[in-house]
Structure 1
Amino acid sequence: MEKKELRIGLIGYQFMGKAHSHAYRDIPFFFDVEAKPVLKVVCGRNEEAVQQAAEKMGFESYETDWRKVVERDDIDVIDIVTPNNTHAEIAIAAAKAGKHVITEKPLAMNLDEAQRMHAAVTENHVIHMVCHNYRYVPAVQLAKQLVASGKLGEIYHFRARYLQDFIMSPSFPLTWRLDQKVSGSGALGDIAAHSLDIARFLVGEINEVVATAKTFIKERPIGSMTGGLSAKVSEGKMAPVTVDDATAIIAKFENGALGTFEATRFAGGNRNRNEFEINGEHGSVRWNMENMNQLEVYFAHDEEGLQGFRTIDVTEASHPYVGSYWAAGHMIGYEHTFIHLLYEFLQGIARGEQPKPDFADGLRNQAVLTAIEQSIQQQRWVNVEELLVKS
């Protein structure tokens, strides 16, 4: 029997556009999907560049106005991989047009936008997701299983560090990622948002935070992103950096656990060191994206003299998602996190079931980000629940 098709309209085509497009193309190869993705149209403002992207990534057509994509009758899904300040307008319009929606993180620029986006997808009964792809690393999914099963017992600590170094040079230009009007924040929204989502996924909701932030280089030459995390100077004029370069956070979880978070784009030698450790009464787990196929596990009940962290290669067929790929010990990579997340998104649409993380998760994460911003500004603890009630 011929499978149903889900026709994809991708808004944006650079770093994340490439990751999402690749995932859509590979999903049917590795997974038995109930609805096949069809790369229908990709959209970008630069006609020459988006036309080249359409040809390279395998889209049937291209547009230069996202509104035309949303209005098209031959589109089922709107996938948003544009800068943060565009997420709300596109997602709300897509939901009102009856399209299923997935957007890159963070969900929005602020809590008000996030609430309006959540209301739009809820009221229009469309499937929705936020692309926190690190949830879908098999090792992270295994950590979730261990926590949920109670093998670690009561959770005491969650600590996370997300370390990058790509903007350390003073000559790195001021791109949209360093402009608050476009990005909303710097290391906080760009990388700490991932750590906060993983913490909520693995440990539970955060109800109170205190934080500080630092901008090390105050002024940069104006420039633009050129793909991946590379950029070029577009003019000699200098402009002020309006976002944080680094943020440090202490968090209290609803279940009593204590969390600490560090996010910086000034950690020399760390290209993408996204890591966490969880400590519980019966054991601990820790993981680092730079060794993404491995999960370190410690159990307090191990035989005395043989206790300590052991390293598990999360490549067995019994591990989450891994059975769809290669033989044990044959590693998968970063791109597979998008395959897993978008597979769940497509299956959710086909079955009429809401996958996670969804806009409700995005809204909650936005509330935590807002609480952190307020804490930095006001130099005090901020309660997340109070923000949600007031807004």
Structure 2
Amino acid sequence: MVGAGGTLGIGMVGYAFMGAAHTHAWRTAGRFFDLPLAPDLAVLCGRNAEAAQRAAERLGWRSTETDWKQLLSRDDVGLVDICSPGDTHADIAIAALDAGKHVLCEKPLANTVEEARAMAAAAERAAARGVRSMVGFSYRRVPALVLARRLVAEGRLGQVRHVRAAYLQDWIVDPEFPLVWRLRRETAGSGALGDIGAHIVDMAQYLTGDVLTGVSALTETFIKERPLPTALSDAGGGLSGLSAGAGRGEVTVDDAALFLGRFAGGALATFEATRFAIGRKNALRIELNGSLGSLAFDLESLNELEFYDGTEDPDVAGFRRILVTEPTHPYVAAWWPPGHLLGYEHTFTHQAVDLVTDIAADRDPVPSFADGLRVQLVLDAVQRSAAAGGGWQPISE
């Protein structure tokens, strides 16, 4: 649905960490990029009316709702942006698509394979009517990683043989950190596996252009019980401002996940996702080794890509540091002069730009809900393998 004057009305569900990041993107995208449609911050939705109103005033939304179903009947909403916990994704996305609203859904797409399959089917039905959907794997919009994908697609690495990926955080090492929704299976689906492991699974499949066909995994929950929070986070996933209340509850998700994988093309892979790597705040690193070269990326050096060209003279060969800030690099021309660095928030702006552009061009965005389902299948296989003591688990198509 396109509004008057070429606008695209946004209705967003959830307003904490991801909600703030998405809001910044919607507000920024049209100010730096020449968009075919202007995003309009029409309505912010949260269960607590007072808290939603405060968030709307702070973030710049025009109105609020407390029931996401109200977004589906509003003429000023053309796209529903889902930034709420995983257990809400399927219901909201399917209803929105069936109502003719475009959808952006945060990752992981769902809490279960069954939910993800239903969402992918709804997206396919909607696409036949010109209604588009995207899953929010925002790291695909890091310029250095888009450049990395280009190098792989151009054959600069040759046949990819190894992928090693790790995502390390430490925000729950304190055993007295409260039992927020991200630590409960019924709301989050899984722990470090789905929260940050989903990112490196998607990134590995995106960079290689290949899919994982099987895994062998171990998971662990180091802290079995935590204090109940004074108030559960309201549909947004924020981690600040929380304190422990009376009583304790069981942690029902993993704290860490380690797994091996094999790609359809024969490459071998290792993955590590943990929220217990003390000192590591948001450390994502991925490396690919091929028959002709290698590349490596570290999120803590977001504007850089390491590349080794194995066809060069060995006397002068070595990993080179590419500073991905030239106007010829992906997305960069809209921002600052070379050498002036981009940050985490820019990935969400690029995501919004691509989604709006695809909607206006009447084409399917990527990563699609089918891509989100593919990641969900990997997460499910990891959980099944870990439950079976680490045995090999094939990944169904």
Partner residue of 2:344 out of 311, 334, 341: 334
User: Structure 1 stretches of 5 or more lacking a match?
Assistant: none
Deviation readout 1:8-56 (Å, 9 max, x if unpaired):
0001111000000100111111111101100000000111111011111
Which whole-Å CA distance do the structure 2 matches of 1:207 and 1:342 have between them? 31
Deviation readout 1:77-99 (Å, 9 max, x if unpaired):
00000000000000011011100
Q: Which amino acid aligns with 1:319?
A: H
Which whole-Å CA distance do the structure 2 matches of 1:209 and 1:72 have between them? 44
| TM-score normalised per structure 2 | 0.95
Which whole-Å CA distance do the structure 2 matches of 1:231 and 1:162 have between them? 24
Task: Write the mapping of 1:28-39 to structure 2, written as runs, cut at 5 A.
Answer: 28-39=30-41
The aligned counterpart of 2:394 is 383
How far is 1:137 from its partner? 0.2
Which whole-Å CA distance do the structure 1 matches of 2:376 and 2:289 have between them? 26
Task: Write the mapping of 1:174-323 to structure 2, written as runs, cut at 5 A.
Answer: 174-203=179-208, 204-223=210-229, 224-225=232-233, 228-230=238-240, 232-323=242-333
The aligned counterpart of 2:21 is 19
How far is 1:348 from its partner? 1.0
Q: Secondary structure at the match of 2:243?
A: strand
| TM-score normalised per structure 1 | 0.96
Which whole-Å CA distance do the structure 2 matches of 1:249 and 1:176 have between them? 24
Q: Which amino acid aligns with 2:215?
A: V
How far is 1:124 from its partner? 2.4
How far is 1:356 from its partner? 0.5
Q: Which amino acid aligns with 2:52?
A: V
Which whole-Å CA distance do the structure 2 matches of 1:103 and 1:346 have between them? 14
Q: Secondary structure at the match of 1:290?
A: helix
Q: Is the 8 A contact 2:226 2:251 kept in 1?
A: yes
How far is 1:228 from its partner? 4.4
User: Structure 2 stretches of 5 or more lacking a match?
Assistant: none
Q: Which amino acid aligns with 1:366?
A: Q
Q: Secondary structure at the match of 1:69?
A: helix
Which whole-Å CA distance do the structure 2 matches of 1:313 and 1:301 have between them? 21
Which whole-Å CA distance do the structure 2 matches of 1:347 and 1:35 have between them? 8
Q: Is the 8 A contact 1:175 1:231 kept in 2?
A: no
Deviation readout 1:233-258 (Å, 9 max, x if unpaired):
35220111111000001000001100
Instruction: Indicate whether 1:63 and 2:74 are aligned.
Output: no
Which whole-Å CA distance do the structure 1 matches of 2:385 and 2:73 have between them? 41
Deviation readout 1:261-309 (Å, 9 max, x if unpaired):
0000000110000110000111110011111000011111222232221
Partner residue of 2:89 out of 82, 87, 90: 87
Which whole-Å CA distance do the structure 2 matches of 1:210 and 1:176 have between them? 27
Which whole-Å CA distance do the structure 2 matches of 1:22 and 1:232 have between them? 23
Task: Write the mapping of 1:76-225 to structure 2, written as runs, cut at 5 A.
Answer: 76-125=78-127, 126-203=131-208, 204-223=210-229, 224-225=232-233
How far is 1:3 from its partner? 5.1
Report the RMSD for the aligned CA atoms in angstroms: 1.3
Q: Is the 8 A contact 1:172 1:231 kept in 2?
A: no
How far is 1:328 from its partner? 0.3
Q: Secondary structure at the match of 1:230?
A: coil
Q: What percentage of aligned pairs have identical amino acids?
A: 49
Which whole-Å CA distance do the structure 2 matches of 1:246 and 1:91 have between them? 29
Q: Which amino acid aligns with 1:123?
A: R
Q: Secondary structure at the match of 1:56?
A: helix
Which whole-Å CA distance do the structure 1 matches of 2:112 and 2:50 have between them? 33
